[in-house]
A and B are shown apart, each in its own frame.
Chain A
Amino acid sequence: MIPALVVFVYLAVVLYVGIFAFRRGASSGEDYFLAGRSLGPFVFLFSLFGTNMTAFAILGSSGLAYQRGIGVYGLLASSSAFVIPFTLFLIGTRLWAHGKRFGHMTQVQFFRDRWECSGVGTVLFVLTALMLVPYIVIGVMGGGATLAALTAGFVPYEVGGGIVALVVMSYVFFGGMRGTAWVNTLQTILFLTFGTVAFVLIGRALGGYGAVLERLGAEPATAPLLTRARVPPREFLSYFLIPLSSIMFPHISIFCLTAKRAEHFKKTIVLYPLCILAIWLPAVYLGVVAAAEFPGLRPGASDDVLLRLLTAHADILVSGILGAAIMACVMASDSQILALSTMFTEDLFEHYGGRRRFGGAVEVWTGRAFVVGVTIAAWLVAVELKDRVGIFDLAVRFAFSGYAALAPLMLAALFWRRSTKWGALAATLWVAATVLGTWWLHAASAAIAPAPGQAPVPIFPALGGLLLRTPAQVTVFGFLPVVPMVFGSALLVWVVSLLTRPPSAATIERYFPAPGP
């Protein structure tokens, strides 16, 4: 029961942080949604990192490492260690500068202004908002499931999901971006500190990690876990493009606008890879170690190996504190809820004259009402579709590819004067079509999906190896769909832009001013 008590104390602390942040005031939309563009370097780094450090990433990577071995670190972590901060350097800093200069609070506002078109912004709003929804639902589902597991069923899934949703809703409602940023900072520090302590304690309890790995290496069934034998090279290569999604997630791009100064990006960009190392190396490593401790778990069931190791080998108090940290990761839906609320308020309410007619205070309360509505809807969906978590899991995976394929659009807007709204629209429709197409192919080929360890199966035998079905994915010539999606998007924005009329000289001059003397 101690771990459960620690988790409840943690939830109380989180609520306090939200209320504390609220006391600092949120009289304008900019203050509520962007913390007044005033976050310092410390909160900016840890909160941005915490926003990306979701249960999907942490527990999912341990579970995947349990099944597929150490290659998972390369798939999910070392690629992100370069790509995410690189996109922060290239894209995040420029978004910040444009946001400060022109008052943008969302990606859509930037796109509308840059390409002089309300319509393209609306299409992007619909696509990016829809791809964010499953993320929010899965956060509530994860909260319910984790709280039920940590209390050994004392708190049922429905109540657990409700408690998590209520806590998240409260601090987002009262604290806005400032509260969310501080909670994420707390979460990251908690996870880094107690993750390290738990890693050491588990190692001691096992008699040293070396002995466990020797044992794994000596068994033919588990020796491949110490190599990348279970990760096909083309899949490994494809994964390098997935982290392009990070900067295109609305909650990350909006977060980039919260920095007080551009200088604050510097520490984040350089330290981000090291934070990834500190979190993901133990997560993947423990996933592999768990294969020696709890053999025979199926995919999905292996997602809780981190919790199993903790329960079996860590001190009960440390286990509880790390359980709270895991809860914090599960509760990462806070940023997405706030982002969706910001988008609704800025891209619809404000865009269609709401602020002008009703004023800034009503704008903030509209955002807050939206937070309540979205959270309640997410909880209802999480309860109603309790046993269909796989659908949302899948939707999140497709959303990663979808957001990654929108990155060429952002690069074109920021760096290519000649890019046009028609090029942007073509790329956006391509992304929407390919996300839906991949989903359809995945569903249509479910019946022929091979068992783990078996060779991929052609989905349409007449097309040879073009479209293959693996146990968990649909591939295109062996590559994940994200590869053709990203290159198709880049090609479309380039070709269609060249064929259509560029934005006015005035707009181009605003975004690409001539260098001073």
Chain B
Amino acid sequence: MRAWRYLLLFAAMIALHQDVWFWSDGRLVLGVLPIGLAYHVGYTILAAVVLGLLVRHDWPRDLEDA
């Protein structure tokens, strides 16, 4: 992946992190999880998925040549 794509990915993850729409929303999801916290739990899982895709499809091939 080219450098600008990494920058774009970083910027996209920053944007998704700023969930302004739930900023002052105190509703509970499933009766125990504030919705803002539930969103960031989802964000954390999304981070794992995105990183998994990077590792799978964009792993630097020359590392093991060291």
Q: Please determine whether B24 and A209 come into contact, CB atoms closer than 8 angstroms.
A: no
Nearest chain A CB to B41's CB is how many angstroms away? Answer: 6
If A223-B26, A237-B18 touch, whether A70 touches B55 (CB-CB below 8 Å) is no
Q: Please determine whether A70 and B37 come into contact, CB atoms closer than 8 angstroms.
A: yes
Number of A residues, CB within 8 Å of B: 52
Nearest chain B CB to A52's CB is how many angstroms away? Answer: 15
Q: Please determine whether B44 and A77 come into contact, CB atoms closer than 8 angstroms.
A: yes
Tell me whether B32 is interfacial, beta carbon within 8 Å. yes
Tell me whether A294 is interfacial, beta carbon within 8 Å. no
If A97-B66, A213-B34 touch, whether A227 touches B60 (CB-CB below 8 Å) is no
Interface residues on B, range: 35 or more
Q: Choose one: A96, A229, A263, A276; the contact of B44 (CB below 8 Å).
A: A276
Tell me whether B8 is interfacial, beta carbon within 8 Å. no
Q: Please determine whether A228 and B23 come into contact, CB atoms closer than 8 angstroms.
A: yes
The complex places the Cα of A284 from the Cα of B37 at a distance, in Å, of 10
Q: How many A-B residue pairs have CB under 8 A?
A: 128
Nearest chain A CB to B22's CB is how many angstroms away? Answer: 7
- List, in ascending order, chain B residues with CB within 8 A of A142's CB: none
The complex places the Cα of A415 from the Cα of B3 at a distance, in Å, of 9
- By beta carbon, the residue of chain B nearest A73 is B40
Q: Please determine whether A82 and B13 come into contact, CB atoms closer than 8 angstroms.
A: yes
Q: Which of B16-38 contact A (CB under 8 A)?
A: 17-20, 22-26, 28, 31-32, 34, 36-37
If A227-B36, A228-B36 touch, whether A273 touches B45 (CB-CB below 8 Å) is yes
The complex places the Cα of A214 from the Cα of B32 at a distance, in Å, of 8
Tell me whether A74 is interfacial, beta carbon within 8 Å. yes
If A82-B47, A266-B55, A266-B59 touch, whether A70 touches B18 (CB-CB below 8 Å) is no
Nearest chain B CB to A385's CB is how many angstroms away? Answer: 37
Q: Please determine whether A240 and B17 come into contact, CB atoms closer than 8 angstroms.
A: yes
Q: Choose one: A93, A209, A272, A274; the contact of B32 (CB below 8 Å).
A: A209
- By beta carbon, the residue of chain A nearest B38 is A70
Q: Please determine whether A227 and B24 come into contact, CB atoms closer than 8 angstroms.
A: yes
Tell me whether A90 is interfacial, beta carbon within 8 Å. yes
Q: Please determine whether A227 and B23 come into contact, CB atoms closer than 8 angstroms.
A: yes
- List, in ascending order, chain B residues with CB within 8 A of A311's CB: none
Q: Mark A224-241, 1 if CB is under 8 A from B, else 0.
A: 101111000100110010
Tell me whether A217 is interfacial, beta carbon within 8 Å. yes
Other contacts beyond A79-B17, A223-B26: 10, CB < 8 A: A81-B44, A81-B48, A85-B47, A93-B60, A96-B63, A224-B24, A227-B26, A269-B51, A269-B54, A281-B41
The 9 A-B residue pairs with the shortest CB-CB distance in the complex, in nearest-first order:
A262-B63, A226-B26, A82-B47, A273-B48, A100-B66, A226-B34, A78-B40, A70-B37, A101-B66
